[in-house]
């Protein structure tokens, strides 16, 4: 492998280096290591591409910084360099690459994409926030705040509140810390917001998202064998690491953390940390840290697409179900295995092989199968899931600090291993999801192991969508059937749950759910607040096993609630 020291080509801190770097990538597209000298490099969105990004706002073009395209056997070594981004842009993009490692650098913005305000005073009808103009550049005009990047803060995304002492989301305030318009300026860069009976305290931190979800910090599409390691992401204008239609990904020591040196206390990103859409092979996340993200740290899923009409017995027109997931060039390829899913029961009706795929427009595509399909499929309301674009998932030895919403979301039929992690997620720590009706993040799970994790009493301290337990098996099944269960073979064992009287497990539409050898302790740090009435609640679960668990402390919730009409349960606990 040839080593190219970029400083020898005039690429040094403080230079306008992107055109020269792009030229080098074109000249040395294989078997090379590109080494940055340490220092601060400024990135601008110097080129534009019409890319479709999963779970991201649709815009005509993405503004790109460093782009690796159709490169093979490459290592990008940052040597601790900081990539300081300017404006709305995507710092690092990989397209059609193979065997690439990106390592040892920092992604940040001097003018970050999300702001913080410190509570200086409050009343029954208002909250005063100090917004540091050095850390979060902005101006105040005509009763409104305008940030240097993103423009006016509108409050559309809501406001998250973190406790000043614990730096975790304040209990029961997730998505509920509502701020109205500014009604006064009681001090220099202190703004008084209208708020009805706010649950807060002086010193608490309010997070204000003021940018659209337009770019990822790191984006990869149609790549194979990518490794990201020793990377710190301090800000982003959307998802953190978004990988779609890739094969085999490794994230090692990739951290989403606030840039404390720049005056940011909690916030590290506008949305999710790692978003893995329609990938294959194995996705490995190990030794990573997450804190202050404004959505889920990890989400591994497919993209379910409803059938709009059958053109003949082999060809369908599909329309993407969610406005932030559309326009994909690689949703299917010839030979892919496609599943037919009944959208009401979520039953898999059968599979077929794709013969041809053609995009009609960003919202729709035509898919032809290699054989005719019968009336049993063509006469039902079905969605399609590409089983060839599903990945195994290994998540080990990570720290999931307090972020908005859940910790890890999984929706994949391949083996899932979530082991030896630390969770303080403000919603459910782990959500085993699956959906063909709302988010369209498809994927029934067939083999999930959750073992050796610590779930602190910060978990499930606020309510978000699907947060029915610290571990929530909660697919969207509009018409559940006891004999047609969605998930299968989920094993939860040898974990520690420190629960302040909130449900530790919710199981729904699952065949074979085991909860064994776990330690559940009663935390005294909070009172019961969650609407759930049992520590373990089961609905439409067949072959459930709950046994050999250790319970410490006095809980006010029932131990187990299992619907006798839809569940079969083996347990050594009182029901």
Domain coverage including residue 471: 390-571
**Residue 300 in domain:** no
State which of 366, 387, 408 marks the end of a domain: 387
pLDDT of residue 158: 79
**Residue 287 in domain:** yes
CB 517 within 8 A of CB 548: yes
Give the confidence band of 157 by pLDDT, cuts at 50, 70, 90: confident
pLDDT of residue 369: 98
Give the confidence band of 443 by pLDDT, cuts at 50, 70, 90: confident
First to last CA, the chain: 63
Q: Quick one: CA torsion of 243, 14, 290, 100, rounded to 10 degrees?
A: 30
Distances (CA, A) of 221 to 146, 277, 286, 385, 394: 34, 10, 21, 19, 20
Give the residues across from 95 on adjacent strands.
Answer: 69, 221
If asked whether residues 361 and 411 sit together in one domain, one would say no
Q: Quick one: CA torsion of 39, 45, 47, 49, rounded to 10 degrees?
A: 130
| DSSP 8-state class, residue 22 | H
Residue % of the chain over a pLDDT of 90: 94
If asked whether residues 126 and 81 sit together in one domain, one would say no
Six-digit token pair at 282? 């194995």
If asked whether residues 421 and 553 sit together in one domain, one would say yes
If asked whether residues 205 and 228 sit together in one domain, one would say no
If asked whether residues 409 and 499 sit together in one domain, one would say yes
Give the confidence band of 474 by pLDDT, cuts at 50, 70, 90: very high
The tens digit of pLDDT for each residue in 356-393 reads 999 999 999 999 999 999 998 999 999 999 999 999 99
Give the confidence band of 22 by pLDDT, cuts at 50, 70, 90: very high
If asked whether residues 554 and 410 sit together in one domain, one would say yes
If asked whether residues 309 and 454 sit together in one domain, one would say no
- Specify the CATH number for the domain of residue 236: 2.160.20
Question: How many C-beta neighbours within 10 Å does residue 181 have?
Answer: 10
pLDDT of residue 16: 87
Smallest CA-to-CA distance from 268 within 430, 67, 64, 404 is with: 404
- Structurally, the chain folds into a number of domains equal to 4
If asked whether residues 315 and 381 sit together in one domain, one would say yes
If asked whether residues 452 and 511 sit together in one domain, one would say yes
As a whole number, the mean pLDDT across the chain is 96
pLDDT of residue 154: 83
If asked whether residues 22 and 66 sit together in one domain, one would say yes
């Amino acid at each position: 492998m040839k080593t190219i020291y970029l400083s020898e080509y005039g690429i040094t801190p403080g230079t306008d280096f992107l055109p020269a770097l792009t030229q080098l990538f074109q000249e040395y597209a294989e078997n090379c290591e590109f080494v940055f000298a340490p220092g601060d490099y400024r990135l601008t969105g110097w080129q534009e591409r019409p890319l479709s990004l999963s779970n991201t706002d649709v815009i005509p073009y993405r503004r790109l910084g460093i782009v690796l395209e159709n490169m093979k056997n490459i290592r990008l070594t940052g040597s601790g360099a900081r990539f300081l981004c300017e404006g709305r842009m995507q710092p690092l993009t990989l397209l059609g690459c193979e065997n690439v490692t990106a390592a040892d650098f920092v992604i940040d913005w001097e003018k970050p994409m999300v702001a913080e305000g410190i509570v200086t005073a409050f009343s029954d009808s208002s909250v005063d926030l100090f917004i540091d103009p050095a850390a979060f550049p902005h101006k105040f005009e005509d009763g409104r705040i305008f940030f240097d990047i993103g423009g006016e803060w509108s409050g559309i995304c809501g406001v998250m509140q973190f406790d000043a002492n614990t730096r975790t989301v304040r209990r029961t305030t997730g998505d509920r810390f509502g701020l109205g318009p500014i009604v006064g300026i009681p001090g220099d860069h202190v703004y008084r917001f209208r708020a009805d009976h706010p649950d807060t305290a002086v010193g608490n931190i309010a997070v204000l998202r003021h940018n659209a979800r337009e770019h990822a910090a790191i984006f990869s599409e149609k790549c194979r064998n990518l490794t990201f390691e020793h990377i710190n992401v301090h800000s982003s204008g959307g998802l953190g690491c978004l990988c779609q239609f890739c094969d085999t990904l490794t994230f090692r020591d990739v951290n989403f953390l606030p840039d404390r040196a720049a005056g940011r206390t909690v916030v590290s990103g506008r949305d999710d940390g790692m978003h893995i859409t329609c990938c294959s092979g194995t996705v490995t996340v190990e030794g990573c840290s997450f804190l202050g993200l404004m959505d889920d740290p990890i989400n591994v899923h497919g993209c379910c697409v409803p059938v709009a009409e059958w053109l003949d017995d082999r060809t369908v027109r599909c329309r993407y179900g969610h406005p932030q997931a559309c326009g994909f060039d690689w949703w299917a390829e010839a030979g892919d295995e496609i599943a037919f899913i009944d959208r009401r029961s979520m039953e898999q009706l059968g599979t077929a092989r794709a013969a041809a795929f053609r995009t009609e427009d960003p919202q729709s595509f035509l898919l032809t199968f290699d054989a005719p399909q019968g009336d049993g499929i063509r006469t039902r309301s079905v969605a399609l899931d590409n089983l060839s674009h599903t990945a195994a998932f290994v998540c080990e030895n990570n720290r999931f600090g307090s972020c908005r919403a859940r910790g890890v979301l999984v929706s994949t039929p391949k083996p899932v291993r979530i082991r030896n992690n630390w969770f303080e997620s403000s919603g459910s720590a782990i959500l085993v999801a699956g959906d063909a009706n709302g988010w369209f993040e498809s994927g029934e799970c067939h083999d999930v192991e959750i073992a050796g994790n610590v779930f602190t009493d910060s978990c499930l301290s606020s309510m978000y969508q699907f947060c029915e337990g610290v571990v929530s098996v909660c697919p969207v099944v509009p018409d559940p059937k006891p004999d047609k269960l969605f998930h299968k073979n989920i094993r939860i064992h040898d974990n520690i749950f420190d629960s302040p009287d909130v449900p530790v497990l919710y199981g729904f539409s699952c065949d074979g759910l085991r909860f064994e050898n776990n330690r559940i302790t009663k935390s005294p740090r909070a009172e019961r607040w969650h609407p759930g009435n049992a520590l373990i609640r089961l609905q439409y679960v067949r072959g459930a096993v709950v046994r050999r668990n250790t319970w410490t402390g006095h809980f006010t919730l029932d131990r187990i609630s299992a619907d006798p009409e839809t569940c079969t349960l083996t347990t050594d606990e009182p029901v």
